[in-house]
Amino acid sequence: MKLRAAAHEWRDRRRGLPDRGHERHEDWLEECPSQRSRQQAQASSSQIPELRDVRLAEIARAIDDAVKVLLTLRRDWDDAGAEPISESTWRTAIDFLRGHAIAVLNSTGRAIPAPRILPVPDGSIDLHWKSGSNELLVNFPPAEGASAKFYGDDAGGTVIRGEIDPRRQNPGLLQWLTDL
């Protein structure tokens, strides 16, 4: 099942295991069963005025595509006991993405690339950027008010990792995103 392969790929990546070459499909999330109607999910979409800047269109599209599916995932969506994604976890991840994307745009005049927005079986959400040799993964746990965890590397020996308050902009992550 394509969905299971993608879930295992991201689980392995988070554990630091090498990519095992699972077949990737851009539309793997479209196969997920729906708990809420797509109409409800679209109502929660990223119609955020701040992202209407044409330079942020790629991020707005990534958010729109992900919301249609992530908020409709049911328990056991990966056939291995996965938890659904809550609206509050979604909002925390997207507010972080929006805030940091706008901050980088305002300070540098250029947009960050859109991350992959991925469900994690424990009910958390990963934002994953990979550009050239730079990579950044930020995980937003399902617990209300919990710290987000991040890991980044540039394949040149620089590694960053830690926890942050997802409700605040982080200057170190802003710099890392600027370099993507």
pTM: 0.73
Q: Could you tell me if 45 and 65 are in contact, meaning their C-beta atoms sit under 8 angstroms apart?
A: no
Pick the residue with more confidence: 109 or 28?
109
The SS3 call for residue 129 is: strand
Q: For a pLDDT cut of 70, what percent of the chain falls above it?
A: 72
Q: Could you tell me if 150 and 138 are in contact, meaning their C-beta atoms sit under 8 angstroms apart?
A: yes
User: Which residues are within 8 A (CB) of 46 and not within 5 positions of it... i.e. 6 or more apart?
Assistant: 60, 63, 64, 67, 94, 98
Question: What pLDDT, in 10s, does the model give residues 61-114?
Answer: 999 999 999 999 999 999 999 999 999 999 999 999 999 999 999 999 989 999
